[in-house]
Amino acid sequence: MRNLLLVALYSIFLVALYQIVVIPLMLDLSYIGLLILAAATALGFFAIPRPHRRTFAVLSLLILLVSGGILNIYSDGLGWRFLEFPLMFLILGWIASSFGKIKWRYTLTVVLVLSVTQVVIPLSEMPFYGKFRVAYKSEGLDRRPIFPVYPVAANGTDILTLGDLRKLTTDEIKAADPKGKKDPQAAAELSKKQLEHVDVLRFLTDGGYTKRTATKMEMAQLPFTSFGLAGFPYYSSSWSVEKEKHKGSGVTTEQEVVKQHFAPVDDPKDVLLSFLNPLSVTAAMDERAGRALTESRKNWESAVGKTSAPQYPGAAVVGVGKFLPGGGKQVVLLRNNELQLVEEPAAGSVIRSETPIAVYKGTWEQPIINNLAIGDIDGDGLDELLINGYEQDKSMVWSQPNPARILKVKADGTGSGTGSASGSGTPPTGQDSNSSGQGAFSGAQASHQAPAFEVIWESGKDSFRFEFVQQRDGQKPLIVTQDPSLVRDVPTRYLTGYTWENGELVREWRVFKSNLLFPFELDKDTWVAGYWGEPHLYVLKPTSLPVMSMLAAVYGLLVLGGYGYQLMQRRGQRHA
């Protein structure tokens, strides 16, 4: 019985060590991580007394193979599991007993323990536990694969996102593809029909996360940008309000719920043709984006009520922050491939100033995208603008590096930036002083005293992405990003936390779970994220436990204990 318990504990420990320490080591450090792993494995192997080394090696391999098998089996349907679990047990049990002399009951213990672990903490989510606890994972939402990227917003502590697509009838499917040849054009038409009617879902936090359709009143409390830019700039959105009955506490009530609808701004063929003309593609994209924005905003106001926020024709409001000394805040606009900083109107006023305080321009090769973060990263009371680039197809002759950047507004006009900016200064990290970049400035060039943007940091890789800045009591602000590994030259991003120290980003932690979608802070103790291409919503709770360090320390103690045990045995034999 004691041996079975030890095998169970060792199974859980080894899988946690593999998922939270070993895999991150390989993903982050590549061949360097492989060398470290080989050295650590060798130390562990020789820490085991010689008569038991083969058994422990086979048992460890068995545990890792079972964990991998369970991950694959749980991705299949319930019917397949009844067939696959016995097959896995029989095949791996025979290998373990034949080559490692491991008894069948130990193999059964490994399978049962890891199966229970999969139910309590899914092995695919174990990388989260290096920094977070998964408080909630939604059931599958029926929007895959049409909407791999989707909005997630918050209303207080409740979470709103796009959810269930309109169910297609059998007649509609047959009409689109009567011969059943899975024609791409038919598939596109079916996708279009599904996008014509999408539920807006609300997850209530009262008594757990309960899913239901959002009401008109709840949607009216959100800014237009929360859902209005979904599908932008290729789709325009509209919303309809429908009556829906809800049962609660024995009483049936009727509520006005909201459905979102998507329609292509232009025919897909016209969009494709526009990209074949480099001289006019920027103008075509700007014109298309302007129409999508105007149509979506008009439809939003018609469905849920006119927004009281000031309107900026031809521009998207991408953020508000305090970038300059003084009492007021500034609005960040995205217009004509440039970021413009304008004064925020007084509370309740719809009169706005469109005179830019400072401008940061993009180019056709290095455009400005509308995903950015705003926050005070250096503790001086003024916000910085953290803009994201995107990875381009390097096979294209016109492709240029388009890294993420941190911009700071210099009130005295001394901002140097990059590109054709006036002024002088030290280039940001990773950039040669003679290099040309995307930054250009206007408005500030007429007067040396006018505010101007300055690039104070630049990422070395295009796939680096800023998410948000979290202000922490008694600590430096946390800059949350998704960025690639330190060594491997691949664009895969991992959720990472940094602080700003001496003009550089210093890493605090990293979670090796890729494809998280737009994580944001619900409150100081709760984060929310979608998942790219997967119909799930995650609610995460940060923890202060250094789980990765603790697991590595336990492994180190076990190795030291093994060598100590062998040393004591040898001394005992000498004195015998």
One domain for residues 151 and 273: yes
**Amino acid residing at 161:** T
**pTM, full prediction:** 0.81
Give the SS3 label for residue 411: coil
> Are 318 and 360 in contact, with CB atoms under 8 Å apart?
no
Distances (CA, A) of 388 to 4, 45, 238, 262, 505: 52, 45, 28, 26, 15
Give me 104's structure tokens.
């069948």
pLDDT category at 228 given cuts 50, 70, 90 is confident
Residue 121 Cα distances to 11, 72, 78, 113, 542, angstroms: 14, 15, 19, 12, 16
Bin 515: left if φ > 0, else alpha if -120 < ψ < 50, else beta.
left
Bond into 145 cis (ω within 30)? yes
Residue percentage of the chain with pLDDT more than 70: 78
Sheet holding 330-335, edge to edge: 316-321, 330-335, 338-343, 358-361
DSSP 215: B
Return d(Cα 410, Cα 401) in angstroms, integer: 25
- pLDDT of 325 over the 70 cut: yes
Q: Are residues 63 and 190 in the same domain?
A: no
Going by C-alpha positions, the residue among 110, 97, 83 that lies closest to residue 13 is: 110
Q: Based on the domain organization, do 207 and 269 belong to the same domain?
A: yes
Least confident of 75-89, 465-479, 484-498: 75-89
As a residue count, the chain comes to 576
Residues 180 and 228 occupy one common structural domain = yes
Residue 382 resides in a domain: no
Mean pLDDT of 89-111: 93
- Residues 213 and 145 grouped into a single domain: yes
CB 495 within 8 A of CB 6: no
E strand or H helix that includes residue 112:
helix 104-120
In 3-state terms the chain splits into helix, strand, coil percentages (rounded to 5) of: 35, 25, 40
- At what angle are helices 547-575 and 31-47 packed, to 10 degrees? 40
Backbone angles phi, psi at 360, to 5 degrees: -120, 115
pLDDT at 57: 95
- Is 191 within a domain? yes
- Regarding whether 169 and 40 lie in a shared domain, the answer is no
Structural element, H or E, at residue 240: strand 235-248
Residue 323 lies inside a defined structural domain of this protein: no
In a domain, 164, yes or no: yes
Greatest mean pLDDT range, 50-54, 136-140, 266-270, 434-438: 50-54
The pLDDT tens digits of the residues spanning 381-427 come to: 999 999 998 766 555 545 567 889 999 998 775 554 433 333 333 33
b (16+ CB within 10 A) / e for 169-204: eeeeeeebeeeeeeeeebeeebbbbbbebbbbbbbe
Banded pLDDT at 250 (limits 50, 70, 90)? low
- Of the three residues 271, 304, 337, the one that is the final residue of a domain is 304
What would the pLDDT profile of 9-63 be if each residue is shown by its tens digit? 999 999 999 999 999 999 999 999 999 999 999 999 999 999 999 999 999 999 9
Same domain? 84 vs 105: yes
156 lies in the same domain as 78: no
Of these ranges, 288-297, 375-384, 415-424, the one predicted with the greatest mean pLDDT is 375-384
pLDDT tens, 484-532? 998 888 888 999 999 999 999 999 999 998 888 888 898 888 999 888 7
CA distances from 467 to 203, 350, 481, 494, 576 (A): 22, 29, 5, 12, 65
Interacting residues of 519 by C-beta distance below 8 A, sequence separation 6+: 467, 468, 480, 482, 495, 527, 528, 529, 540
Q: Note whether residue 534 is domain-resident.
A: no
Q: What is the pLDDT of residues 177-214, one digit of tens each?
A: 666 656 555 655 555 555 656 777 777 766 677 888 88
Residues 123 and 145 reside in one and the same domain: no
For the chain, give the mean pLDDT: 81
Q: Whole-angstrom Cα distance, residue 476 to residue 373?
A: 17
Domain total of the chain: 2
- What pLDDT does residue 434 have? 32
Bridge partners, 154 (sequence order): 159
pLDDT for residue 351: 63
Under the banding of pLDDT at 50, 70 and 90, the label for residue 462 is confident
Q: What is the predicted pLDDT for the residue at 494? A: 93
* 37 and 14 housed in the same domain: yes
Average pLDDT value for residue range 420-439: 34
* Burial group, residue 3, by CB count within 10 angstroms (0-12, 13-18, 19+): exposed
Fill in the DSSP letter of residue 181.
-
- DSSP-based three-state secondary structure for 374: strand
pLDDT above 50 for 246: yes
CA angle 389, 390, 396 (to 5 degrees): 125
Q: Is the pLDDT of residue 98 over 80?
A: yes
Residues 97 and 176 in one domain: no
Predicted confidence (pLDDT) at residue 472 exceeds the cutoff of 50: yes
Q: What is the pLDDT of residues 328-339, one digit of tens each?
A: 899 998 888 889
Q: What percent of the chain has pLDDT over 90?
A: 38
Average pLDDT on 457-466 reads 89
- The answer to whether 100 touches 58, Cβ cutoff 8 Å, is yes
Least confident among 6-20, 427-441, 464-478? 427-441
Among residues 280, 304, 328, the one where a domain terminates is 304
Whether the CB-CB separation of 59 and 96 falls below 8 Å is answered with yes
Do the beta carbons of residue 297 and residue 314 sit within 8 Å? no
| Interatomic CA distance for residues 513 and 132, integer angstroms | 11
Specify if 187 maps to a domain: yes
Tokens encoding 53 = 């080394």
**Is 444 a residue whose pLDDT tops 50?**
no
List of residues 6+ apart from 468 with CB closer than 8 A: 373, 375, 480, 519, 520, 521
pLDDT at residue 540 is higher than 70 = yes
Domain end, chosen from 253, 282, 304, is at 304
Domain that holds residue 60: 4-130+549-575
Give alpha helix (H) positions in 163-250. 170-176, 184-195, 216-220, 224-228
Could you tell me if residue 13 is inside a domain? yes
pLDDT of residue 443 exceeding 80: no
